[in-house]
Chains A and B, each alone.
Chain A
Amino acid sequence: AQSVAQPEDQVNVAEGNPLTVKCTYSVSGNPYLFWYVQYPNRGLQFLLKYITGDNLVKGSYGFEAEFNKSQTSFHLKKPSALVSDSALYFCAVRDVADYKLSFGAGTTVTVRA
């Protein structure tokens, strides 16, 4: 079985401040981890992924995420948030022996000017 928890429904930050969106996961085997972003009435856009290797992964639009195996976490970070980063963010996990993605419930990020 695999699952994802995003403990915060909402994250509010001021523009220019660091942004962190938390994610923890559970899988039976080794994980593939992903972050996606969703804008209103749109599909999901891929931000970044962890497959293997370096624990710090860099992705699109200045986002990065840190894989922590001991804490089973994959938190999304951005050093300086923009108003345009306001959106719904989803963390997802896939067991390497599986085909399906399991998503968290999502975190709404609001960046105020």
Chain B
Amino acid sequence: DAGVTQSPTHLIKTRGQQVTLRCSPKSGHDTVSWYQQALGQGPQFIFQYYEEEERQRGNFPDRFSGHQFPNYSSELNVNALLLGDSALYLCASSLAIQENTEAFFGQGTRLTVV
């Protein structure tokens, strides 16, 4: 049973560029959340997708956008990259009907903006 998989594992981008990160949820899960973890900090909630809709959003600018596909996989897009966007981006999946279940996290994508 594959867990949550994210790609790529690392990437380097230049300020002003755009980036797309990808996530496949754990088998059987239908909900995907994205978190940003800056160095030395705890993860911060970006948004959550369920039924291909963004159903909750954290305190992040509109430069951060996402998508969920019919197979429940998800993408995180960040436009006009800033140096401060450098972080580990974590994807987490869960099953909506089990509202009190824990979220399963992927290994993350390390984004460096130069």
A positions within 8 Å CB-CB of B: 4, 32, 34, 36, 41-46, 49, 51, 90, 92, 96, 98-106
Question: Is A32 a contact of B43 with CB atoms below 8 Å?
Answer: no
A-B CB contact pairs (8 Å), 20 listed: A4-B42, A36-B105, A41-B107, A41-B110, A42-B108, A43-B90, A43-B105, A44-B92, A45-B105, A46-B105, A99-B55, A100-B56, A100-B58, A101-B35, A101-B43, A103-B35, A103-B44, A105-B41, A106-B41, A106-B42
Contact status B42-A49, CB under 8 Å: no
B111 at the A interface (CB under 8 A): no
Q: Chain B interface: which size bin?
A: 20 to 34
From residue B95, how far is it (CB to closest CB) to chain A in Å?
Answer: 13
Interface residues of B in 22-51 (CB under 8 A from A): 33, 35, 40-45, 48
* Residues of A with C-beta under 8 A to B43: 44, 90, 101, 103
Contact: A101 with B105, CB < 8 Å? Answer: no
Q: How far is the CB of A110 from chain B (nearest CB, A)?
A: 16
Which residues from B are CB-within-8-Å of A42?
107-108
